[in-house]
Amino acid sequence: MIDVKRLVILRDLAEYGKVSIVAGLHGVTSSAISQQLRALEAEADAALVYREGRGVQLTAAGSALAAECEHVLAALERAEGAVRALDDDLGGELSIGCAPSALTSVAAPLVAALAALHPGLRPKIIQAEPEDAVLMLKQHSLDLTVSYRYHLLGTKPPSGTTAVELFHDPLRLAVPEHLREAVGREGLGVLRDRAWISAPEPSSCREILLHACRNAGFTARIEHNCDDLRSALSLVATGLAVTILPGLLCDAPPAGTAILPLPDPGRTIEALVRSGTESHPVIAATLAVSTRLAKKRPPTTPPM
């Protein structure tokens, strides 16, 4: 019988490619990971990895086995959900990851609604960007995460996860008020010589900003890097820089800032869970509340 924990190690090795990274994920030494892989090979009665230079690669058998891991884990999650469905009350700790831009508009209302409907639950919000949140979700540090995906980047939900769409979040252009009319007449290209504000690399928000500027025929001159993109609006208000932001961050711009629509399709705000946990009573209840709150959101209107 194949050990599931060892199977997870093989899956992680297939995804990250280095024993040292997998060791860090699991909080053990590289030698311990190597021992677990050898034990897994004995259980599978097949060679699963081989050395190449200083690293390791998966054999055809290893790749085939790793590909089945998510199906196995999803089945186990469904089995646990079936057991938990026999409980009378919803209770316990619920770890919810949330992208910073959705903390105010999604996480806060969700926690309030869960407290009112299911007082036995103890939701815990953990701020995390999508890339980090997915890793935490797969490692069971999170039960659910509120995330986003930009349409133009063409990314799909990560393997082993199920996405539940909540709502659409359009992109907005933030410029000093004195540039409003010029942008309205000439478009984004009028900002080619301006200083731009963006999230630090790597960031999908930064990729979208650069993509929009390239489509307008220029390369953005990024002079300011801000982890807290909402604070970028204060810098825009000084008249010294411009930026492109998700609409969720533009609800209360400071005086002197013009918020303008962009033709870019924007991004989808969604809830991500480990595949198979959708039927777990706590997760199902949380998804139900999330989608209900999303439907109650007022329609997005273009800024004035």
Residue 171: pLDDT band (50, 70, 90) is very high
Report whether pLDDT(17) > 90.
no
Q: Where in the chain are the domains?
A: 4-67, 72-169+268-296, 171-264
**What are 181-214's pLDDT values in tens digits?**
999 898 999 999 999 999 888 888 899 999 999 9
Q: How many CB atoms lie within 10 A of CB 145?
A: 26
Please compute the mean of the pLDDT values over residues 19-44 and round it to a whole number: 89
At what angle are helices 69-84 and 281-296 packed, to 10 degrees?
Answer: 90
Report whether pLDDT(268) > 90.
yes
- What are the tokens at 2? 């194949």
Report whether pLDDT(75) > 70.
yes
Residue 50: pLDDT band (50, 70, 90) is confident
Confidence at residue 55, expressed as pLDDT on a 0 to 100 scale: 74
Please compute the mean of the pLDDT values over residues 113-137 and round it to a whole number: 92
Q: Name the percent of the chain lying above pLDDT 70.
A: 98
- What are the tokens at 252? 């209360």
| Pair 8, 73: CB distance under 8 Å | yes
Which pTM value belongs to this model? 0.82
Q: How many CB atoms lie within 10 A of CB 89?
A: 10
Please compute the mean of the pLDDT values over residues 290-302 and round it to a whole number: 80
Confidence at residue 303, expressed as pLDDT on a 0 to 100 scale: 57
Q: Of 173 and 302, which is predicted with more confidence? A: 173
Report whether pLDDT(155) > 90.
no
Confidence at residue 202, expressed as pLDDT on a 0 to 100 scale: 83
- What are the tokens at 162? 């199920």
Instruction: List strands edge to edge, sheet with 257-261.
Output: 243-246, 171-176, 257-261
Residue 153: pLDDT band (50, 70, 90) is confident
Residue 301: pLDDT band (50, 70, 90) is low
Beta strands 267-274; 161-169: pairing state: antiparallel
| Pair 218, 189: CB distance under 8 Å | yes
3-class secondary-structure state, position 28: coil
> Was domain 72-169+268-296 assigned CATH 3.50.50.60?
no
Q: Which of 38-47, 77-86, 172-181 has the lowest mean pLDDT?
A: 77-86
Of 3.40.50.970, 1.10.10.10, 3.40.50.150, 3.40.190.10, the CATH number of 171-264 is: 3.40.190.10
What H or E segment, with its residue span, contains residue 57?
strand 55-58
Report whether pLDDT(44) > 90.
no
Residue 175: pLDDT band (50, 70, 90) is very high
Report whether pLDDT(177) > 90.
yes
Confidence at residue 203, expressed as pLDDT on a 0 to 100 scale: 86
Confidence at residue 275, expressed as pLDDT on a 0 to 100 scale: 93
Confidence at residue 88, expressed as pLDDT on a 0 to 100 scale: 67
- What are the tokens at 51? 């050395």
What H or E segment, with its residue span, contains residue 168?
strand 161-169
Q: Of 245 and 152, which is predicted with more confidence? A: 245
Domains 72-169+268-296 and 171-264 share a fold: yes
Report whether pLDDT(142) > 80.
yes
- What are the tokens at 301? 């209107």
Q: What size, in residues, is the chain? A: 304
Confidence at residue 265, expressed as pLDDT on a 0 to 100 scale: 80
Alpha-carbon span 15 to 69, nearest angstrom: 12
Q: What is the mean pLDDT of the chain?
A: 89
CATH fold group of domain 4-67: Arc Repressor Mutant, subunit A (1.10.10)
Query: Which are the contacts of 167, defined by CB distance < 8 A and separation ≥ 6?
Result: 268, 269, 294, 297
Residue 304: pLDDT band (50, 70, 90) is low
